Each structure stands twice: as C-alpha cells, then as structure tokens.
C-alpha cells in the first residue's frame, strides 16, 4: 500500500536501474557473446562515475526509515499500518544487498562469490513477492497480483544467474522485469491512488474500518469487473511498450558501437594501454 508519491518514487528507482542493467548487459553481449558474463552490478571506471549507486545508498535507507516512521505514527486501520512496516523491511533488505555489492567490489579482502550475491538478490525478490499483495482484493488485488508476477520473474532470473551467470536470457528477463515493475508501479499509483486517473465508477483505494482487505470502492459490481479487465489490458500494453523499448535499445547499440557501455573506458581502455606498452619496447629495440 502507500500513495501516489511512494509509487512514483519507486518508479524513479526501478526504471533507471533496469535501463542501466539492460544497457550494460547489451553492450557486453554485443562486444563478445561467447565471453558474456552477468554481474550483480556493472561498475564504471573511474569509480566516481558510479554516482547512481552512491545515490541509492543514501536514498534507499531514507525511504526505509520513512516507512518505519509511518508505521509507528499511523493510527488508522491495522492492515494499512502494518503494510508500512512490510514495505520498509523489503527496502532495507535491498539496501543491505547494495552494501554487500559495494563491499565486495571495493574491499579486496572480502572474497564473496558473485553467485552468492545473486542468490541473496533472488531471496530479496522472493521476500517482496511474499509480502506483495497482502491485504488487497478486487481490482487492487489484480493489480498487485500482476506486480507480484513480475517480482517472481526477477527472483527466478537472479537464482538462475547464480547457477549460470553466462545466461544472457536470464539477464534479459531480470533487466526487463525491473523496467516493467517500474512502469507498472507507476500505473498502479495513478489508477488506484488518484481521482484524476481513477477507474470509471470507482473511487481511489481505501480501507474501511470493518474490512481486513483494501480495494477501490466501485458503485456496482460491473464497474469492478470492468476495472479488472482494463487493468489486464493495460498490463498487456505495458508489456508491448517495454518490449519495443528493449528491442529499440538493442538495435541502437548493435548499429552504433560508440554508444556501448565500456567501449571507451574500463577494461577496453586498459587493454589498449597494455598493447601500447608492449609496442613501445619493440620499437625501441628496432631503433637500437
């Protein structure tokens, strides 16, 4: 549960992360498909360029702490109040995962296997899937049920990558799933928590005192059924848009090598420098 603000902030977190993972994984795969290997996080060189990761380290715990404050201060329906605690706990788990990824890359003495990091990421997604959709019914239950399916896809992709990190298809589903989750969370916030984009014949989501589950309040049952059908239709539309976006990004990177991640820095630059260092002694020997 939450509000349009929490759903919009979640979109701002998930969508850029998914686009970045897709951009980096496509670049590495197009560079050398036979040597492709997925990573928990695609770090850029020099390290100061990883500003998005550093920003997440600051913003994510603030979001988790905000949900905890709402849980302690909210005096409304118990189900609605406990949802803040669940949401804060999920955010905290992902923040701990980000810390582990950074410590693994920046501290050489920590010998943490990448497969272990992918397993933890899969567990975090499974926890989110388990908590997602609790306390919802009707139209809202349908919306968050679809979101739970996307979360399960991300969890399965992470667990498969822990076994086979060279599986580009699993990385594709993970990155695309994160993008899809971001767009669908925004759609859920617009349709369930606002009156402007609300469903016809239904008011925004609310929890009645004598009900254990939350849902949008519809005038008649036909409005509720029409709302469920509309949300399923919008879900298919989101899937098509994400597929077009992903295909367009892959086509753009395959046609323009200069746009790929890591083509002008990082490991490729180090390779070019090492080759130049090898050529220099040879030229000096020829002069002598």
Share of the chain above pLDDT 70, in %: 82
48-74 pLDDT, tens digit per residue, is 677 888 888 888 888 888 877 777 776
- Smallest Cα–Cα separation from 36: which of 158, 156, 172, 157? 172
What is the model's pTM? Answer: 0.84
How many residues make up the chain in this entry?
A: 288
Q: What is the distance between the alpha carbons of residues 54 and 62, in angstroms, rounded to a whole number?
A: 13
pLDDT band at 212; cut points 50, 70, 90: low
Residue 134: half-sphere exposure toward Cβ, Cα within 13 Å: 16
pLDDT at 284 over 50: no
**Mean pLDDT of all residues in 229-246:** 96
129-169 pLDDT, tens digit per residue, is 988 767 778 888 899 999 999 999 999 999 999 999 999 99
- Sign of the four-CA dihedral 125, 206, 228, 230: negative
Answer whether 284's CB lies under 8 Å from 51's CB: no
pLDDT band at 283; cut points 50, 70, 90: very low
73-105 pLDDT, tens digit per residue, is 766 666 666 677 778 888 889 999 999 988 887
pLDDT of residue 138: 85
pLDDT at 111 over 60: yes
């Amino acid at each position: 549960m939450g509000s349009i603000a929490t759903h919009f902030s979640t979109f701002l977190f998930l969508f850029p992360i998914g686009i970045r993972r897709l951009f980096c994984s496509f670049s590495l795969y197009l560079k050398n498909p036979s040597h492709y290997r997925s990573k928990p996080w695609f770090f850029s060189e020099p390290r100061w360029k990883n500003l998005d990761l550093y920003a997440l380290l600051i913003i994510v715990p603030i979001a988790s702490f905000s949900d905890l404050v709402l849980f302690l201060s909210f005096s409304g329906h118990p189900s609605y109040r406990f949802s803040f605690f669940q949401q804060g706990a999920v955010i905290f788990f992902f923040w701990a995962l980000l810390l582990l990824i950074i410590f693994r890359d920046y501290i050489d003495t920590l010998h943490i296997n990448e497969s272990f990091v992918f397993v933890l990421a899969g567990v975090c997604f499974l926890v989110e899937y388990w908590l997602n959709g609790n306390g919802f019914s009707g139209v809202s239950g349908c919306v968050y049920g679809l979101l739970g399916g996307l979360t399960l896809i991300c969890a399965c992709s992470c667990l498969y990558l822990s076994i086979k990190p060279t599986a580009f298809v699993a990385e594709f589903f993970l990155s695309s799933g994160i993008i899809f989750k971001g767009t669908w969370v925004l759609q859920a916030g617009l349709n369930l928590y606002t009156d402007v984009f609300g469903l016809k014949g239904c008011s925004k989501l609310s929890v009645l005192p004598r009900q254990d589950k939350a849902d949008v309040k519809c005038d008649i049952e036909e409005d509720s059924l029409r709302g469920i059908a509309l949300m399923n239709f919008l879900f298919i539309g989101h899937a098509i848009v994400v597929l077009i976006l992903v295909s367009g990004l892959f086509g753009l990177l395959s046609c323009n090598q200069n746009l790929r991640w890591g083509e002008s820095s990082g490991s490729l630059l180090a390779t070019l420098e090492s080759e130049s260092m090898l050529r220099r002694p040879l030229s000096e020997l020829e002069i002598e």
